[in-house]
Structure 1
Amino acid sequence: MNEQLIRGLFYKGLLKKNDYSPETEKCIFNTLKGLKNKKTTANKPGMLLGKIQSGKTKTFIGITGLAFDNNYDIAIVLTKGTKALTRQTYERLKEEFSSFQAHDKIQIYDIMNLPDNLIQYELNQKLIFIVKKEIHNLRRLHKAFFEQYPLLQNRKILLIDDEADFASVGFLKTKKEAHEMRVIAGEIDQFRKKVDDISFLQVTATPYSLYLQPEHLKIDGSIQDFQPVKPSFTELVPVSDGYIGGEYYFEESTRKQSIASYLYEAIPPHELAILKKPDRRRFKLEEALTSKRIESLRTAILQFIVDGIIRRLQQRQMSKRGKKYSFIVHTEQAKAAHEWQETIVIEMKRKLQQMAAEQPLVLYKLIKPLYVNLKKSLERIKGEIPTLQDVEYETYFYLQNDYVLVTKVNSEKEISELLDDKGQLKLRAPLNIFIGGQILDRGITVQNLIGFYYGRNPRTFQQDTVLQHSRMFGYRLKKDLAVTRFYTTLEIYQIMKKIHEFDTSLRESFKKKSHERGVVFIRRDEDEKRVPCNPNKILLSILKIRTLNIVATYCVL
């Protein structure tokens, strides 16, 4: 069966709004054809494989619109289990389908806000449900389909699992050496089995745990009701010009003539230890502007201020409104560490403000080498370069008028309050410094990011997790790249470079269709510093412990 797809009302409307490239359109059509013609099942979904912040959401929204034109009635979008990403997805879908919603062609609901009194008029429209991968959300989905509105389970459904490797697969090892599926994965699995006509699409940039799933789950010699979700086909999300990813950070940066060669700044490992918790034997807070123990962080913060000021001056020279810029500090998962880092950065800011008012010549001596360093990369793109005097004046002005905002982001409550009306992290000031951990990764958009101080240094690096931390990836203006800086230790940088190489090889395998010939490429990490994913995402009894030493894997399909 090779059914011809129809470009109807929904897809044409999205196409007009997004102006998809020919490559993106091809990806959209091939994905839906795969879902329809290959008859994906609960445990054999389709895979939409993109890069970090490369346009996966835009692509699966296009697939949703095309699906609605081709007899699908309902789309269910599963999001990572955070309020921030759920809201971001909800706002994005509302925006994309706004004209259809205004004419009662479609209804879009956060599952937790689904009305209890939907009438037939509403149920007969196309429906989109956004469901956070969290137990109460998933139970609310079950209630809606199997209790409140049972006719929904007979409709043709497109289930989209966004960030599919997160909380969608995985097993927990009990004391009895058995393996129990996670509750969330079980709820998703049960839903897939109970509805009549469903196509299942996984979306992610880090698919390793999904390709490592076994064909069946065997416990005590028997096949259980739960079956792992291993992709039946894979479509690659194309990237357009302007996308900045690992190639720029780890390949182009080695070319001396490229502006990328100015990107990386090494930080000493001992500095990360200081940022974990207060210890006056190693660092005194009152020495925030003088201690060599945190020199890299201090340089990074002041460099960001200079960077942002230069870009805003360039925009002013072009009679444009100045953009707001962001900087991320991400070194630890613990909230106590975030509080300590916030204390340090706020103290730096306070002392810089005091210096601007009382010791401008001292501040000038700090600014000048940063400006000179930045000028080298700015000259490579042959754009307008503000004078040192202008940058100096603006720095005094920004500090004295409190144009720099320091924000700690490490809880659901805090990040919900920090989102704008599009569900993205809100930039409240001209220059914004965000300090946090896990909450800042996976799908959260941080606009105009020109500085990233990264120091997550676990005993073993998980490839999927490290890539998802890469908030500096995405579509970037060349002028922004000229002032962008990435700070981390040499060891972490080398590990990230190796992870990029393995990830690139995986994608090349799919481009060459090697997986269709059953090609498997597995490389062992000799120093055991890198694994493809969290071991709990892989069924250990089948893949065996030695599989966890893999740093790159290519699936058998």
Structure 2
Amino acid sequence: MKIDGVFYQSFLSQMDRYSEEDKRCIESVVKRLSKKDSTCEERPGMLLGKIQSGKTKTFMAIIGLAFDNQFDITVILTKGTKALAKQTYARVKQEFSSHVKEDRLQVFDIMTVPSGLTKYELNQKLIFIAKKQVDNIDRLIALLGEKYPELKDKGILVVDDEADYASVGFKKSEGEVLSNRTTEQLEQLRTLAEHAAFLQVTATPYALYLQPADIEIQGKAFKPIRPAFTELVPVHADYVGGDYYFDESQEESALASFLYYPLTAEELTVLKKQDGRKVKLDNVLNAKAITGLRSAVCNFLVGACIRRLQDEDYGKAPKKFSFLFHTEAGKEAHAWQEKIVDTLVSSLAKAGAESPTLIEPLLQEAYEEMKPSVTTLQQHLPTYAKVRSAALQMLADGSVMITKVNSEKQIEELLDDDGQLKLRTPLNIFIGGQILDRGITIANLIGFYYGRKPNVYQQDTVLQHSRMFGFRPKADLAVTRFYTEPTIYAAMKRMHECDVALRAEIAKNPEQAVVFIQKDKSGKVIPCSPNKIMLSNTTTLKPFKRMLPVGFQTLSKTKLTPITDKIDKRLDSLNPNEGFEAPFLIELDVALALLDQVQPSLEMFEDEGYTFDWDAAKAALTYLAGLSKKSENRNKVWCLVRKNRNLKRTVSVGSHAQYADAPDSTKTEGRLRQQYSIDHPMLILIRQNGSEEDEWRGAPFYWPIISAQENAQTTIFSHETQKNADVQENDQ
């Protein structure tokens, strides 16, 4: 493969943008795209990045290297909005500007291609940008198939940006399964070119990995687009993503522990539509119904002031900052939220000008909220007097701007040439919904108020909402806060775990598919239908992954004691002579029966967003117990019993109290799991004394933990059969 060509070298000359890891990724992709039979329309390559991690930068360099190696034409398929197509066009023109200037390359939006391209132009390298919309793809098909048929014989690279969006999809109409129109068009495009390679680019690949071997709908056969290989976009040190938001945030001493601010479900309900009984606009500074929102706005104001004062102290120009408010999809809700936030900011400004003492408690509280995280980072903390003065000045100067963004026209007007939302004032609050997802970058984001709570969480959709991911300086992280409700946070954490597991497996073996399994009515575990991912019914399993209930209270002492006594007797009968120092093997049905006995003793705080799906846990244990290659070892579970434990029900994490989630110890139980649980899963039963001093009900109870074995394959496990699946696949 040629790596010293003029196109690729123009990217490598920007060494500050492309590391050695980037180069390895880029060259690996093009080598495989160029190799005969490596990819085709039925076996695309996959460039898998994280949300806002530099995927576009990477695939631009891939296009450059491809032009130096066998490829003459690139088609870039973008998400179907004018703003993002325009943004992609501008980005391509910028990245390849020297080649356009020197007549080596032409860049076209498919909707504005000149009526007659000359032979001279057709012999140059060509890039066509097309939205994944009917009229755009029709034009592309006509251009390659009819108007300039000679182009079909050239080497064509099709880059499907956000490949899981619009590229696959099916729907039901009057009981019949239909393919989306764009899916049909892309199928036609895929079969049009004689010599083509296909590269999918996305951060949310789940639907693509789950494509079946064959799909036939109403007599039409659709070729699979499951990736032939996957290349991971390198993640650089300044990137902030799910690891920070959902892993590091659990560490008490970490900067991220100050990040999460829990909201109530009631507050999110109030923000759905206008209700003067719950929120009176003339009393927004005191309304209890929007306590979290008020704190969020004040924290944003104070946090931004702290950062701007720090910049001034360091001799830098103060930055502008942003805050994203995303709770609903409907425009009516956005209008109501805009009214509340606008009234809140204007009320703060009025009080600051006329009676500053009225908002003193709010500013003081926000300063105290930011203080520990700034000091944890060992950054300079301006005095409260300076921050207060700066905040009042911001309010008086009209430096806080509220912008509602819920239409394509608005987003097109608000994006700058780099595809970022313009920050017009020092503090910018954006209120919107689905339009603020794929491809939209919000600079200097230090506040994210998120409240989307559907009946079924779809992982790709929710992760694409996570505009708070991206490259963030640590100084900004010290004043960054993430506001959401515990149920939503738990769902997002589960999605993050799934994503981490997927990437870990791909890093080990880029060729392998992810296995989805599910429990049918008979209790058997089978692969699920690939056309949908229902996150509310899935759990990620990987080696030594733990599943346990968190956020609960026990039954009353009188009801709990007989349950615990029965479990004590059952465990004694299973292991009467050995004691409980070491784990012992039990049959799967016994382990399931023990879980059935424990289940009624724990009452989950469902109204606070804490749930534990016992059916999913038991189905997962059933699946794990059946993984052994030797039939004689299947359906057995290690049982580890620990007694006389005292764990308090709540623990302090960062600036907020949370429910305890680690009844087992990494050093003791963790060591035994790694020592014994190689081929068999483990059921750990921790007998807590349950004293009232520790906030329990004054009686012992068992806290169960299911742990996957070392030899378990990473799996996304679904415990319910998907009924009326749109597309059927063969049993596997």
TM-score past 0.5 threshold: yes
Deviations 1:211-234 (A, max 9, x none): 1111111347x6x33223111111
**How far did residue 439 of structure 1 move?**
0.4
User: Which position in structure 2 is the counterpart of 1:167?
Assistant: 166
Aligned counterpart, 2:313: 317
- Closer, same or farther in 2 for the Cα pair 1:448/1:546, shift >3 Å? closer
**1:2-44: CA deviation from partner (whole Å, max 9, x where unpaired):** xx34331111111112541111111111111221224312121
Kindly name which structure, 1 or 2, has the bigger radius of gyration based on alpha carbons: 2
Aligned match for 1:252, one of 239, 244, 248: 248
Q: Secondary structure of 1:64's match?
A: helix
Distance in structure 1 (CA, Å) of the matches to 2:360 and 2:536: 52
* C-alpha distance 519-333 of structure 1, shift in aligned 2 (>3 A): closer
Which residue does 1:520 correspond to in 2?
515
Letter of the 1:14 partner, please give it.
Answer: F
Match runs of 1:108-119 below 5 Å: 108-119=107-118
Structure 2 partner of 1:27: 25
Aligned letter for 2:60? Answer: I
Q: Which amino acid aligns with 2:315?
A: S
Q: Deviations over 1:121-155 (max 9, x none)?
A: 22222111111111111112123223333322222
1:71 matched to 2:66? The reply is: no
Q: Which shows bigger deviation, 96-105 or 467-476?
A: 96-105
Q: Does 1:6 align with 2:3?
A: yes
Structure 1: stretches of 5+ with no match in the other structure: 527-531
Compared with structure 1, are the counterparts of its residues 263 and 401 closer, same or farther at alpha carbon in structure 2 (3 Å cutoff)? Answer: same
> May I ask how many residue pairs the two structures share in their alignment?
538
- Give the Cα–Cα distance (whole angstroms) in 2 for the partners of residues 32 and 99 of structure 1: 22
- SS at 2:191's partner residue? helix
Matches within 5 A, 1:411-422: 411-422=407-418
* Alignment match, 2:725: none
Look up the equivalent residue of 1:217 and give its one-letter code: I
Does structure 1 retain, via aligned residues, the 8 Å contact 2:310–2:382? yes
CA distance in 1, matches of 2:110, 2:398: 41
Partners of 2:199 and 2:45 lie apart in 1 by 5
Of stretches 490-499 and 138-147 in structure 1, the one that deviates more from structure 2 is 138-147
Q: Which amino acid in the other structure matches residue 148 of structure 1? A: K
Paired residues of 1:509 and 1:554 also in contact (CA < 8 A)? no
Q: Does 1:97 align with 2:93?
A: no
Q: Cα 1:459–1:63, aligned 2, differ >3 Å: closer, same or farther?
A: same
Report the more deviating stretch, 34-43 or 200-209: 34-43
The Cα shift of 1:522 comes to 4.0
Structure 1 distance, partners of 2:320, 2:439, is 20
Quick one: distance in 2 between partners of 1:126 and 1:339? 47
TM-score of the superposed pair, with normalisation by structure 1: 0.92
DSSP-derived class of the 1:225 partner: strand
Q: TM-score, normalised by structure 2?
A: 0.70
Question: In the alignment, is the contact (CA less than 8 A) between 1:46 and 1:232 conserved in 2?
Answer: yes
Against the structure 1 CA distance between its residues 494 and 549, is the aligned structure 2 distance closer, same or farther, given a 3 Å change threshold? closer
Measured against aligned partners, the alpha-carbon deviations of 1:199-218 in whole angstroms (never above 9, x if no partner) come to 00001111111111111113
Select 2:458's aligned residue among 457, 462, 468. Answer: 462
2:485 is equivalent to residue 489 of structure 1: yes
Amino acid at match of 2:296: A
Which shifted more, 140-149 or 265-274? 140-149
1:87 CA displacement: 2.1
CA distance change for structure 1 residues 46 and 525 in 2, over 3 Å: closer, same or farther? farther
Q: What are the superposed Cα offsets for residues 380-421 of structure 1, whole Å, 9 maximum, x if unpaired?
A: 121222121111111111111100110000001111111112
Deviation, 1:119, is 2.2
CA deviations over 1:180-210 (Å, ceiling 9, x no partner): 2110111111011112111000011111111
Give the structure 2 partner of residue 529 of structure 1: none
Assess, with a 3 A threshold, how the Cα gap between structure 1 residues 429 and 159 changes in structure 2: closer, same or farther.
Answer: same
Q: Secondary structure at the match of 2:61?
A: helix
**3-state DSSP of counterpart to 2:315:** coil
Q: Which protein has the bigger helix share?
A: 1
Q: Distance in 1 between matches of 2:192 and 2:49?
A: 29
Contact 1:509–1:515 under 8 Å retained in 2 = no
- Secondary structure of 2:440's match? coil
**Alpha-carbon RMSD:** 2.4
* 8 Å CA contact 2:216, 2:222 repeated in 1: no
- SS of the aligned residue for 2:503 comes to helix
8 A contact 1:145–1:152 mirrored in 2: yes
**How many angstroms apart in 2 are the aligned matches of 1:439 and 1:525?**
37
Q: Deviations over 1:496-531 (max 9, x none)?
A: 111111111111111121854x673647799xxxxx
Q: Which residue of 2 aligns with 1:86?
A: 85
8 A Cα contact 2:459 2:535, kept in partner: no
Residue 153 of structure 1 corresponds to which residue in structure 2?
152
| Aligned amino acid, residue 206 of structure 2 | Y
Is residue 392 from structure 1 mapped to residue 391 from structure 2 by the alignment?
no
Amino acid at match of 1:87: K
In structure 2, runs of 5+ residues without a counterpart are: 522-526, 541-713, 717-730
After superposition, the Cα gap between the structure-2 partners of 1:168 and 1:548, relative to the gap in structure 1 and judged at 3 Å, is farther
Q: Alpha carbons of 1:444 and 1:107: their partners in 2 closer, same or farther (altered >3 Å)?
A: same
What's 2:683 paired with? none
Query: Separation in 2 of the partners of 1:226 and 1:120?
Result: 35
User: What is the distance in 1 between the residues matched to 2:300 and 2:97?
Assistant: 37
Match of 1:201?
A: 199
Identify which range, 352-361 or 83-92, moves more after superposition: 83-92
> SS of 1:41's equivalent?
coil
Match of 1:366 among 358, 362, 368: 362
- In the alignment, which of 225, 232, 242 is matched to residue 229 of structure 1? 225
Q: Which residue of 2 aligns with 1:331?
A: 327
Match of residue 430, structure 1, among 426, 433, 438: 426
Letter paired with 2:239: Y
Determine the C-alpha separation between the residues in 2 that align with 1:409 and 1:525.
Answer: 43
Q: In structure 2, which of residues 460, 468, 478 is the aligned counterpart of residue 472 of structure 1?
A: 468
Report what 2:670 is aligned to. Answer: none
2: CA distance between counterparts of 1:117 and 1:385?
Answer: 63
Q: 1:17 aligns with which of 7, 10, 14?
A: 14
Match among 378, 381, 399 for residue 382 of structure 1: 378
* Shift of residue 340, structure 1, vs aligned partner: 0.7
CA contact (8 A) 1:333 1:437 kept: yes
SS of the residue aligned with 1:352?
Answer: helix
Contact preservation (8 Å) 1:208, 1:464: yes
Residues 91, 423 of structure 1: 8 Å contact kept: no
Matches within 5 A, 1:41-52: 41-52=40-51
Deviations 1:466-509 (A, max 9, x none): 11111111111000111100000011111111111111111111
Q: Of 288, 297, 304, which aligns to 2:300?
A: 304
Is the CA contact 1:311–1:480 (under 8 Å) kept in the aligned structure 2?
yes
Whether 1:404 aligns to 2:400 is: yes
Distance 1:250 1:546, change over 3 A: closer
CA distance in 1, matches of 2:373, 2:519: 38
Q: Residues of 1 paired with 2:276 and 2:126: CA distance? A: 58
SS at match of 1:166: coil
Counterpart contact for 2:494–2:539, Cα < 8 Å: no
Summarize the alignment of residues 171-182 of structure 1 with structure 2, pairs less than 5 Å apart.
171-177=170-176, 179-182=177-180
**Which gives a bigger RCO, structure 1 or 2 (Cα 8 Å, sep 6+)?**
1
